[in-house]
Copies of this chain bind each other. A is one copy, B any other.
Amino acid sequence: MAAQASPAPELALPDVAAIRAAAARIAAHVVRTPMVRSDALDRLAGATLSWKCENLQPVGAFKARGACNAVFSLDEASAARGVATHSSGNHGAALAYAAQRRGIPAWVVMPENAPRAKQENVRRYGATIRFCAPNVPARETVCAAVLAETGARLIHPFDDVDVIAGQGTATLELLADDPTLEAVVAPCGGGGLLSGSAIAAHGVRATIRVYGTEPAEAGDAAAGFRAGHMMPAPTTHTIADGLRSGTSPRTFSALRAHVTDFATCSEAAIVRAMRLMWEHLRIVAEPSSAVPLACLLEGTLDLRGARAAVIVTGGNVDLDRLPWQA
């Protein structure tokens, strides 16, 4: 990867030292999440799996890590003007949380149709929501207006070196908890978690396998990985609302360099996997969190015989409308 020798700013990535620094910076603001196990899920996968419970983070998602690292990396003058983002939910809530922890204002641009639970997660931490029509041009227009009006710093959900470094801290923890792990598995939306995880894993041990997983309905990263260049997703019609984003050139370059392979899964498998996780892990996992298990169930991801950690990315779900109760 020539980009690693002398990266253009839009391709800059954190190294493992930056991820270690992020871990120290955010330690007082995030949870060192537990790993849980299930013999029943191990039997289904034919592997020895540990589930890293990022659903137990503040705001219910790994996004607290990246947002806290970005917010606490700002100098005093920038921080005072506040932060802003556009987000389908978990990053918005995470940025609101991080800003509240630092005592600075936050603005979150969200589509009008964002789930109620995710709106409440943002408001709970004192951020201001600005709604937009549910399409990218509307989102960018409203976001630009907020930045112009407030002087806030945009904290992108994934295309940001400090956010990626923060997301990578989960993998430092899981490898410290179990140094015998042979593989790490994460879902891939914009690729912030997966690229941070992969850089962290290979910074600790070069032989660890790192797998990205996606809904087939939003399989841009998997398709791009096979093609050798970024690809647009043909659709983003997935229940896994955290994974509808495509990657950026920055995250895609990290994935090409560090990910062992990608797998994709059907929507039905996501619902089945989500229910199995609730039943056997006894945690509330959102659809995006179920994508790795869905790939294992469908056999597109084969970890047979391996010791692997799976990152359970979040637990924000509308409890009145569970997808297996259609």
Contact = CB atoms under 8 A, between A and B. Distances in A.
Nearest to A38: B58
A319 B322 contact: yes
Contacts of A281: 56
Interface size class of A (residues with CB under 8 A): 20 to 34
A320 B315 contact: no
A319 B275 contact: yes
A124 B56 CA distance: 27
A317 to B, nearest CB: 8
A272 to B, nearest CB: 12
A44 interface: no
A43 to B, nearest CB: 10
A34 interface: yes
A3 interface: no
A196 interface: no
Interface of A: 31, 33-34, 36-37, 39-40, 53, 55-56, 58, 60, 117, 124, 275, 278-279, 281-284, 315-316, 319-320, 322, 324-325
B320 A324 contact: yes
A39 B124 CA distance: 9
Given A56-B34, A283-B283, A278 B324 contact: no
Contact of A322 (B40, B60, B322): B322
A320 B325 CA distance: 7
Contacts of A315: 282
Contacts of A324: 319-320
Most buried by B among A36, A53, A279, A325: A279
A118 B176 CA distance: 35
A316 B279 CA distance: 7
Contacts of A39: 58, 124
30 contacts: A31-B36, A31-B37, A33-B34, A34-B34, A34-B53, A34-B56, A36-B56, A39-B58, A39-B124, A40-B124, A55-B282, A56-B281, A56-B282, A56-B283, A60-B282, A275-B319, A278-B284, A278-B319, A279-B319, A282-B284, A282-B316, A283-B283, A283-B284, A284-B284, A319-B322, A319-B324, A320-B324, A320-B325, A322-B322, A325-B325
A325 B36 CA distance: 28
A281 B34 CA distance: 14
A224 to B, nearest CB: 32
Nearest to A316: B282
A-B pairs, 10 with minimum CB distance: A282-B315, A34-B34, A282-B284, A55-B282, A60-B282, A36-B56, A278-B284, A283-B283, A278-B319, A279-B319
A279 B318 CA distance: 8
A283 B53 CA distance: 10
Contacts of A36: 31, 56
A320 B33 CA distance: 28
Given A56-B283, A279-B284, A282-B316, 16 more contacts: A31-B37, A33-B34, A34-B53, A36-B56, A39-B124, A55-B282, A56-B281, A56-B282, A117-B279, A275-B319, A279-B319, A282-B284, A283-B284, A284-B284, A320-B324, A320-B325
